[in-house]
């Protein structure tokens, strides 16, 4: 775990012309390992170290894939399994914000008179 006496530092090696930063692999690995500790907020660590949370999540997923530590996006599984499901025979028109039922053919205007 990270202790206040020994803060984790993410060291920048350089900055590319497009503005992207290059990070020291060793400090990046330490940050990823810290994210894998139980009860640690990935978003909180990202905020503390000035890294985008999505980028840090990507680093963690990459590390999990490399080490075979299970599913890299397992944190998302609960959201996908709890999505509301509709019955296969349900009418999808009930879900639409407008009425799209077919209308009867209306007689065309005859301007012949």
State pTM to two decimals. Answer: 0.56
Q: What is the pLDDT of residues 7-58, one digit of tens each?
A: 577 888 999 999 888 999 999 999 999 998 888 999 999 999 989 999 999 9
As a dihedral over the C-alpha atoms of residue 21, residue 74, residue 69, residue 48, rounded to 10 degrees, the angle is: 40
The enclosing H or E element of 23 equals strand 21-23
Residue at token pair 């009867």: 104
Tokens of 103: 């209308």
């Amino acid at each position: 775990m990270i202790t206040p006496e020994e803060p984790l530092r993410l060291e920048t090696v350089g900055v590319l012309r497009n503005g992207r930063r290059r990070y020291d692999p060793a400090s990046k690995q330490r940050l990823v390992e810290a994210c894998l500790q139980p009860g640690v907020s990935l978003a909180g660590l990202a905020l503390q170290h000035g890294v985008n949370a999505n980028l840090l999540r990507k680093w963690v997923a990459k590390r999990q894939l490399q080490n075979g530590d299970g599913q890299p996006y397992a944190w998302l599984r609960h959201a996908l399994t709890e999505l509301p499901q509709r019955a296969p025979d349900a009418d999808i028109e009930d879900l639409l914000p407008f009425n799209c039922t077919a209308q009867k053919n209306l007689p065309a205007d005859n301007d012949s008179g």
